[in-house]
Structure 1
Amino acid sequence: MRQFLKVTLVAAFLLTGANLFAQTVKLGHIDSNELLSIMPEKEQAQKQIQAKAEEYDKQIQEMKAEYQKLAQAYIAARETLTEEVRAIKEKEIQDLQNRMQTFDGFAQQELQKTQNELLRPIFDKASKAIKDVGAENGFTYILDISTGVILFHADNSTDVMPLVKAKLGLQ
């Protein structure tokens, strides 16, 4: 009987402690993708990234046109060419193909680098605003609902989007 009383008291103490802890946690949530989509800096960065992508695409298209022209000329004249000239033409075509592949890889890396350079400050600004809102309003946690990693979303969780938008001066 004494043992039962001890277990009951310990269980009551633990449940009371858990209830007290649960009452001090203030949860908030935000959709960071939505926040980023309304930030004017992101639209400007996207335009710069798109312009650079179009520039690289234009260069790749020019290389493809040159490749097609070279390949068609080779196919049309192949039967009349000597072995040595044929080998030289095939090497030219192969070299151009290699340059195209190298340039494509370079363009992809440069676009990724440009995207990181332009978007990192925007992500940092949004993150700082979310952290500031959390600290100023006493939130214990602010969850990002755009990631899909949330296991539980209570009805009493506060959407902090309006507070963060106000912090950033957005509507």
Structure 2
Amino acid sequence: MRHFLKVTLLAIILSAGSSTFAQTLKFGHIDSNKLLSIMPEKEQAQKQIQAAAAEYDAQIKAMREEYQTLVNSYVEKRETLSEAVRNNKEVEIQDLQNRMQQFDGFAQQELQKKQNELLKPIFDKASAAIKAVGAENGFIYVFDISTGVILFNSNNSVDVMPLVKTKLGIK
């Protein structure tokens, strides 16, 4: 009888302890892509990136037009040109084509740099707000559901988007 009482008491203590432990675990989730898309800073950064891209596109377009003019002129006059002039025109066309490719690569790198430069502070701000909300509200983990890695999202997991939006001052 005494043994039965000890086992029963131990079972009650363990079940009470495990239910208390289970209740203290808080998990949250957020769609970081959605959060970033509604941040006003992101829209401003996108406008700056698009403006830089438009500048590079205009330059590439001008180079293409120059290239097309050179090629058309060469094709029209090819038969009347001497061998030396023809070779010179071909080298000129090839040089312009190489410059266009180099400029295109340069433009892509510069746009990537600008994008990183403008978006990193926004990502950092969002990350800091998520961490602050997690700490303030006692979450064990806050999962990012935009990555597609989360295989299951229970109803017990709290969507922290409203809390993070409030933290960032977004309506």
Q: Give yes or no for TM over 0.5.
A: yes
Secondary structure of the residue that 1:146 maps to in structure 2? helix
> Is 1:124 matched up with 2:124?
yes
CA apart distance, 1:156: 1.1
* Cα deviation 1:40-92 (Å, max 9, x = unaligned): 00000000000000000000000000000000000000000111000000000
Structure 2 counterpart of 1:80, one-letter code = T
Taking the aligned partners of 1:18 and 1:104, their CA distance within structure 2 comes to: 61
Asked if 1:85 corresponds to 2:85, the answer is: yes
Task: Give the Cα–Cα distance (whole angstroms) in 1 for the partners of residues 23 and 147 of structure 2.
Answer: 26
Distance 2:101 2:21 in 1: 59
Deviations 1:8-56 (A, max 9, x none): xxxx8xx968766543321001111111011000000000000000000
Aligned position for 1:149: 149
2:167 alignment partner in structure 1: 167
Spell out structure 1 runs of 4+ moving beyond 2 A: 15-24
> Secondary structure in 1 aligned to 2:170?
coil
- In the aligned structure 1, how far is the partner of 2:34 from the partner of 2:158? 16
Q: Gaps spanning 5+ residues in structure 2: where?
A: 1-10
**Unmatched 5+ residue regions in structure 1?**
1-11
Aligned length: 158
Letter in 2 for 1:159: D
Match of residue 101 from structure 1? 101
Q: For residue 138 of structure 2, what is the amino acid of its counterpart? A: G
Q: Report the Cα offset of residue 122 of structure 1.
A: 0.1
Matching residue's letter, 1:117: E
The correspondence of residues 9-158 of structure 1 with structure 2, limited to 5 A, is 21-158=21-158
Taking the aligned partners of 1:46 and 1:132, their CA distance within structure 2 comes to: 26
TM-score by length of 1: 0.88
One-letter amino acid of the counterpart of residue 130, structure 1: I
Partner Cα separation in structure 2 for residue 100 and residue 159 of structure 1: 48
Partner of 1:9: none
- CA 1:18 to 1:100, structure 2 compared with 1: closer, same or farther past 3 Å? farther
**Structure 1 vs Structure 2: percent identity of aligned residues?**
74
